[in-house]
Structure 1
Amino acid sequence: MKRAALILGLVALLAVQANAQKLRRGAEAPANYGTAIGIRMNPWIVGFTIKHFISGPHAIEGLAFTNFDKGSNVTFTGLYEYHWNVFDKPEFLMYAGGGAHVGIYDRFDYDRDRWFRNGDGTYVTAGLDGIFGVEYTFKKIPLSVSADLKPFFNFSGGTHFMGEEIGGASARYTF
């Protein structure tokens, strides 16, 4: 499962890299980059993140992540984000938005009721996500760091919207 997440993350990176258009610096976009790729983690999860500004303050972000201790799960998330400047500094941005996810979870780890009824195996569920965070982009090096809260709701299985995946910190290479 982790290999599948890695392969899908690399394919997404290549697709965005091949189609990325350079944004004009300055008034068109609040960030001083067009696309960024990196890692998102907290004490329980680790994964890939890719963010692309589509026009002005509007960006899309893709996430693919898994838990450290539960090797048989992976979640893919797509988000729309709106960015605005804070602290009167162009390198600081706040953002908010929402999106959706698809998760492939082990029954034993995430939904014990199904595990007791159906036994071992995995299940797939979809859900909705929100996101709110702050981002800092360095001026002299191609690096952006961010911290966010990402509550979510699964349509089936465990909802865990206040669980281990709610918060995270990201470090991205910008280009």
Structure 2
Amino acid sequence: MRPSFKHLFATLLCVLFFVSAHAQTYVISSSSGANIRKGPGTDQPVLAKIPQGSNVKVVERTNSNWVKVSYNSQTGYVASELVTEDKGRNSNNNNARNASASNGSNGRNNKASSQSSRSSSASSSSNKKMGIGLRFGDPAGITFKKYSGNTAWEINLGRSYRWGYRYDDRFYRYDRFDNRKLYDYKGHSAGPTTALQVHWLKHHDISGANGLQFYYGVGPQARFTNVHYRYKYDDREYYESFTDLDLGVDGVIGLEYTFKEVPFSIFLDANAFIEVFDAPGWIHGQSGIGVRYNF
């Protein structure tokens, strides 16, 4: 059964809401605050100074030493040891600073150690290079993705839907069958349709939703269907086959969520396929949902 676009869109919104609702907030734990820099390194320019106790949102974990954060509508990099998970004690920060310096220092060190451990485990998924998996929808089959920074190449290969072509009309549109007095169309059968999509994609982080990205892109698509005609000519019945080939261009948008602890991603997408050959100008909607293993 063909998936409903409304159901896929609703699922897309639910995933976005769920991940956003569970995005964690972090706090600057260093007593001297932290510098937010343009890149992950002490040689990078300082964009701003973040005071101690300020809440920041982790956008991406670059490696075990640096995290990409969002603070006051500004995005940059902060040393991971200065960023710890906010446990809801921000309102007591002033009292905590007046407590024993040694106890406060030990607490910050323990948090930093825990944060560093989580960063190491998350970096494997955030630094993924390739992914392969299964796609359900149109087309349904195998999906492969190669990442390069915030761009990617995607290939989807699988079964697709026939979009209601009236092959009885198409029969008479072919030059050798255009004489209706000579050729009497009797029927047809059509095999499964195979679709090949190739997309160039641009990815963007969603602020406050660690691991969730939206993407958009464009690329070619080719579709193949084997059609078998039955017709009469000169009072004799004949069978003939041909391959229905559709070529065109896709425009695609989607959401992709990458898990922190396991090397898997899930995705939802929708695209408009504009035919260039053999029915120029026809526009068809497609959509899908799937999972990839990243390595």
Cα distance, 1:89 vs. partner? 2.8
**Equivalent residue runs for 1:25-104 within 5 Å:** 26=62, 31-42=126-137, 45-54=139-148, 56-67=149-160, 71-104=191-224
Q: CA–CA distance in 1 between the matches of 2:274 and 2:226? A: 17
What letter corresponds to residue 142 of structure 2 in structure 1? F
Which of 1 and 2 has greater Rg? Answer: 2
Q: CA–CA distance in 2 between the matches of 1:169 and 1:61? A: 14
What letter corresponds to residue 216 of structure 2 in structure 1? A
User: Over residues 107-152 of structure 1, what are the superposed CA-to-partner deviations in whole Å (9 max), with x where a residue is unaligned?
Assistant: 47xxxxxxxxx96421223110011000101111111000011111
Higher helix share: 2
Q: CA–CA distance in 1 between the matches of 2:282 and 2:134? A: 22
Q: CA–CA distance in 2 between the matches of 1:92 and 1:137? A: 6
- 1:162 to 2:284 alignment: yes
Decide whether aligned partners of structure 1 residues 68 and 149 sit closer, same or farther in structure 2, where only a CA change above 3 A counts. closer
Q: CA–CA distance in 2 between the matches of 1:107 and 1:161? A: 21
Structure 2: which 5+ residue stretches go unaligned?
1-60, 63-67, 69-124, 163-189, 229-238
Are the equivalent residues in 2 in contact too, given 1:32–1:137 (CA < 8 A)?
A: no
Are the equivalent residues in 2 in contact too, given 1:75–1:104 (CA < 8 A)?
A: yes
Q: Normalized against structure 1, the TM-score is what?
A: 0.67
Q: Normalized against structure 2, the TM-score is what?
A: 0.41
Q: CA–CA distance in 2 between the matches of 1:123 and 1:143? A: 36
What letter corresponds to residue 204 of structure 2 in structure 1? W
> Percent sequence identity over matched residues?
26
Q: CA–CA distance in 2 between the matches of 1:128 and 1:137? A: 28
Alignment counterpart, residue 139 of structure 1, candidates 251, 256, 260 = 260
Higher relative contact order (CA 8 A, sep 6+): 1
SS in structure 2 of the partner of residue 72 of structure 1: strand
SS in structure 2 of the partner of residue 155 of structure 1: strand
Q: CA–CA distance in 2 between the matches of 1:119 and 1:156? A: 22
Are the equivalent residues in 1 in contact too, given 2:145–2:155 (CA < 8 A)?
A: yes
Q: CA–CA distance in 1 between the matches of 2:191 and 2:131? A: 27
User: Over residues 33-85 of structure 1, what are the superposed CA-to-partner deviations in whole Å (9 max), with x where a residue is unaligned?
Assistant: 1110011112x64111111112x201100111113897532111111000000
When the two chains are superposed, the root-mean-square deviation of aligned CA atoms in Å is 2.7
Cα distance, 1:157 vs. partner? 3.6
Alignment counterpart, residue 124 of structure 1, candidates 219, 222, 245 = 245
Are the equivalent residues in 2 in contact too, given 1:95–1:134 (CA < 8 A)?
A: yes
Structure 1: which 5+ residue stretches go unaligned?
1-24, 109-117
Q: Which structure 1 residue ranges, 4+ long, deviate > 4 Å from structure 2?
A: 68-71
Are the equivalent residues in 2 in contact too, given 1:31–1:90 (CA < 8 A)?
A: no
